[in-house]
Chain A
Amino acid sequence: MMVIGAVALDVLREARSRRWVLALAIAISLMLIFLALSLRMDVLDGALASTRLFGALLGTDIRSVDVALRPVFRGTAYVIYYGGLSFGILGCADFAPTLLSPGRIEQLLALPIRRWELLAGTFLGVTALAVAGALYGAGGLVLLLGAKTGVWTIRPVLAALLTGVGFSALYAAMLSTALLVRSAALSAAVGGVLFVAGIVAGYRVKLAPLFHAGLGRSAFQVLTAMVPPISTLADTSASLAASAPVETIPLFSVLTGFILFGLGVLALGAWHFEQKDF
């Protein structure tokens, strides 16, 4: 376990020097600073009386401030989830190919580290990076709005954690692809395809009747059952952030499914990695 942690830390250290990661951190910080300076919210007896962005009035209806903030948290959860996943696919696609680059992989394999530990450490490091980004954005927004309105809620932060779970499933497939073919472009492409397929898979119940009953519909149902339902987790994340009711058992089932999918794909990657000659 110590070895896996050390590899993960190594990945995080390397991430600091990446422009993509730096750009993300700067973008999130700028967005939070922009909101902190420009957003003014007048709260009167627990009611949001007015909201101004750069002095311009945004909506005039008087509503309980925690109710008024729900659409904001909902929208933010979607942005963090889909934005985080998109960024993660593009920004983290070349981590594994760099790890496997000639010269470096031989050096790593010469160390007393088992191959699967190397794989698990890389996966853990990149996933931790994605989770940190999501928590920074959501946590910053919660602190900012809490200070301005007095509404303190942990739900958007919990919702941001779901982004980490969603990304882990995608990155497991990207990492295993990179082990198969050392290409950042192919790794990103697999992540992208899985991302889009996952959005479709989330609506499989609604979309299935569009196919003719028979082979076409059955094939659609079987194929989409094997893909992590990205959009379902996005909707759940948004509902969680917006204090809408979220059923625990289906959420637990989906989350476990995502985690098992990630572990399954990683096991496939480990199987290939174990028999590969460098």
Chain B
Amino acid sequence: MRRRNQWLLAAAVLLALAAYLMSRQGQAPDASPRAQVEFPRRLRAPEFQRMEKRKTLPPLPSAALASAQETRRRDPLISALPGNNGGTVLVIEANAIRHSPIGELLVQCFAARGRGDPVAQFQEQTGIDLLKDLDRIAITEKGMIVSGSFQNARWDKTFGEARASSYGEQGAIYSPAPHSLPDGGPAEPMMGIWNGQLIIIGENGDDVRSAVDRVEGRAPVRAPALPEESSYGEIYGVISAEQLAPLISGNDLALAERLRRVAERIEIHVDTRKDVALAAHVSGRDAAAVSDLGKSLGAMLSLARLHPEVRQNPDLAELLDLARIEPGDGHFDLELALPMEFLEKQLASCRGENPARAVSVP
């Protein structure tokens, strides 16, 4: 009888211990990190609504129309961009990025590491609050266009002795005095303001005047550099291979040359709503050469993963795990991501150092 009770006692103790240990378990990770990263692949509903809201300009006069598409209302910033000439056009959704997790983190870093408060100093000098007034920044090969709400800007104080003249219906051109560049070359930048909404910076007066003409409908309409359906993500646009090649030539000169020769259009989209995810679509006329380039890049990423230094660095290995090349007919897609956990780890020193400017993500 005593032996039988020992079995019962052992069962009770073992089951109680088992229940304790099993109830302490948490949830296993659901899936690979890649599955949790959302890559920008198409125009999504909120981005379409954002795009439609920005169309505040009336349609172009019929004489300037190139297609039926131009009979719709227009977005001032997109209208100000030069037409498609194969060059670089990159739009940065500054306000959206500022309110994204990475934007919050960067603002904290910026405030923590700067001397004083550079944002407040800039506002003091110009009347522009970089964290609130800025909406988008478009970068082209010939200059930059910034959109936002600049009604409170103190242009006279900002431009100082620059010559000012009005242009068009709502434009103003400022001509700062010519000065020398660090490499010794002359610089004659011109700056234009349109209706308190756009700041246009160009290499010369013609660039700025042309942009104002495009906004006000006086310039002939050309194919847009950025089709409407490509305006998704927080950074989007096309980069010319000519401009991209020098950036990678330091690591692989042959690859840079191949990129320059083969890639005719490199369209990029960066999503920062949660993680930082980049999707690039590379296309060219020589389908076989583009496909080979894609395979070379894929192999390069794989080899990088096998490198001993990468194998010893879990963070770096994780980043390369998230890299992928998807070849297609005459094009290939490249996807890269920086998970927010990784960025938070890298920028951990910024957290908590200057919480005053931290604003919750809407």
Query: Which A residues fall within an 8 A CB radius of B?
Result: 44-47, 49, 60-67, 70-71, 74, 116, 201-206, 221, 224-229, 232, 235-236, 238-239, 242, 244-246, 250, 253-254, 256-261, 263-265, 267-268, 270-271, 274-275
A257-B21, A261-B18, A264-B18 known; A271 vs B29 contact (CB < 8 Å) = no
B53 within 8 A of A: no
Which bucket holds chain B's interface residue count?
Answer: 35 or more
Residue in A206, A242, A265 whose beta carbon sits within 8 Å of that of B27 in the complex: A206
- Do residues B21 and A253 form an inter-chain contact, with CB atoms below 8 A? yes
Complex Cα distance A46/B299, Å? Answer: 7
Residues of A near B324 (CB, < 8 A) are: 61-63
Tell me if A's interface is mostly helix, strand, loop or mixed. Answer: helix
Residue in A62, A71, A259, A261 whose beta carbon sits within 8 Å of that of B298 in the complex: A62
> How would residues 13 to 33 of chain B score, 1 for a CB under 8 Å from any chain A CB and 0 otherwise?
111011111111111111010
- Do residues B321 and A260 form an inter-chain contact, with CB atoms below 8 A? no
- For B30, give the chain A residue with the smallest CB separation: A235
A and B contact pairs by CB, cutoff 8 A, 13 listed: A61-B325, A62-B327, A64-B305, A65-B302, A226-B19, A245-B29, A253-B25, A254-B21, A260-B17, A260-B21, A261-B19, A267-B10, A267-B14
Complex Cα distance A46/B25, Å? Answer: 37
- For B35, give the chain A residue with the smallest CB separation: A71
Residue among B294, B299, B326 having the largest count of chain A Cβ atoms under 10 Å: B299
- Do residues A47 and B19 form an inter-chain contact, with CB atoms below 8 A? no
B295 within 8 A of A: yes
Nearest Cβ in chain A — how far from B319, in angstroms? 12
B301 within 8 A of A: yes
A260-B17, A274-B3 known; A267 vs B11 contact (CB < 8 Å) = yes
- For A59, give the chain B residue with the smallest CB separation: B326
Complex Cα distance A119/B7, Å? Answer: 13
Residue in B4, B18, B23, B326 whose beta carbon sits within 8 Å of that of A260 in the complex: B18
- Do residues B11 and A250 form an inter-chain contact, with CB atoms below 8 A? no
- Do residues B29 and A235 form an inter-chain contact, with CB atoms below 8 A? yes
- Do residues A62 and B325 form an inter-chain contact, with CB atoms below 8 A? yes
Residues of B near A239 (CB, < 8 A) are: 28-29
Residues of B near A253 (CB, < 8 A) are: 21-22, 24-25
A45-B299, A63-B325, A274-B3 known; A264 vs B22 contact (CB < 8 Å) = no
- Do residues A46 and B22 form an inter-chain contact, with CB atoms below 8 A? no
- Do residues A235 and B22 form an inter-chain contact, with CB atoms below 8 A? no
- Do residues B4 and A275 form an inter-chain contact, with CB atoms below 8 A? yes
- Do residues A270 and B7 form an inter-chain contact, with CB atoms below 8 A? yes
- Do residues A232 and B8 form an inter-chain contact, with CB atoms below 8 A? no
- Do residues A235 and B23 form an inter-chain contact, with CB atoms below 8 A? no
A71-B32, A232-B27, A239-B29 known; A264 vs B299 contact (CB < 8 Å) = no
Give 5 new A-B contacts, CB below 8 A, not counting A49-B295, A232-B25, A274-B4: A47-B298, A63-B302, A206-B27, A225-B22, A253-B21
Complex Cα distance A63/B302, Å? Answer: 7
B164 within 8 A of A: no
- Do residues A64 and B301 form an inter-chain contact, with CB atoms below 8 A? yes
- Do residues B15 and A264 form an inter-chain contact, with CB atoms below 8 A? yes
- Do residues B14 and A260 form an inter-chain contact, with CB atoms below 8 A? yes
B45 within 8 A of A: no
